Amino acid sequence: MTGAPNRCYLLRYLPRELERSRRYNHPLAIISCDIDYFKRINDSFGHDAGDEVLQALVVRSRTCIRQTIDWITRSGGEEFVLVLPETNLNGATRIAYLLRKVLSAQPMSTCAGPLAITVSIGVTALETAQELKSISAAELLRTADRCLYASKRLGGDRATAATANDIGTVMPEVFRRAHSEIH
């Protein structure tokens, strides 16, 4: 429906990306993205409008990533995961803020009229040989989700980044600095 592969695809191919990153000792980043207050869109404007917002999100998201190497999946409801091979945390954080800007820059066209959205984003990456060796694909996804939930708890419309090893701190200085650059 969205034009993006589903969670089954993510769970099948993310471990392969991780293995490739391990083999060549290249970083691997993921971005978890969730539309803020999406239920309100469905409740107020109908599921057709909600579906069009999801489709537009995928189209706009693809403009922020490398078409030949990066990929996006719908991991559930209004949540999407972008997989960024050969990308470190700083690079992924820059992409996350570009993504946030692109998605909120102009309303999305729907059958109910233009609808403005914001997103909450979680960003994580494996950069060192030790991280690549010791952290699983499932742990990588959990870290991105924890960062995403931190963004939600802070009011949404922002990105939070952390390495899997630093998840306890959720690197508030990273999102504060980048957040202030955007506003």
Query: Could you read off the pLDDT of 29-48 as tens digits, one per residue?
Result: 999 999 999 999 999 999 99
pLDDT at 169: 52
Which residue among 17, 52, 78, 131 is the active-site one? 78
Instruction: With a cut of 60, say whether residue 177 has pLDDT above it.
Output: no
What is the rounded CA–CA span in Å between residue 86 and residue 29? 8
Q: What does the pLDDT average to over 18-24?
A: 97
Confidence of residue 173 (pLDDT cuts 50, 70, 90): very low
**99-106: average pLDDT:** 96
79 is catalytic: no
Give helix 38-45 / helix 47-62 axis angle, nearest 10°: 140
Domain boundaries, given as residue ranges, for the chain: 7-182
Phi, psi for 143 (deg, rounded to 5) = -65, -45
The CATH H-level (homologous superfamily) assignment of domain 7-182 is: Reverse transcriptase/Diguanylate cyclase domain (3.30.70.270)
What is the pLDDT, as a whole number, of residue 168?
52
Name the band, by pLDDT with cuts 50, 70 and 90, for residue 165: confident
The amino acid that residue 100 corresponds to is: R
Rounded distance, CA 36 to CA 154, Å? Answer: 12
Query: In the Cβ-directed half-sphere of 133, how many Cα atoms lie within 13 Å?
Result: 4
pLDDT, tens only, 112-153: 999 999 999 999 999 999 999 999 999 999 999 999 999 999
* Confidence at 103, pLDDT banded by 50, 70, 90: very high
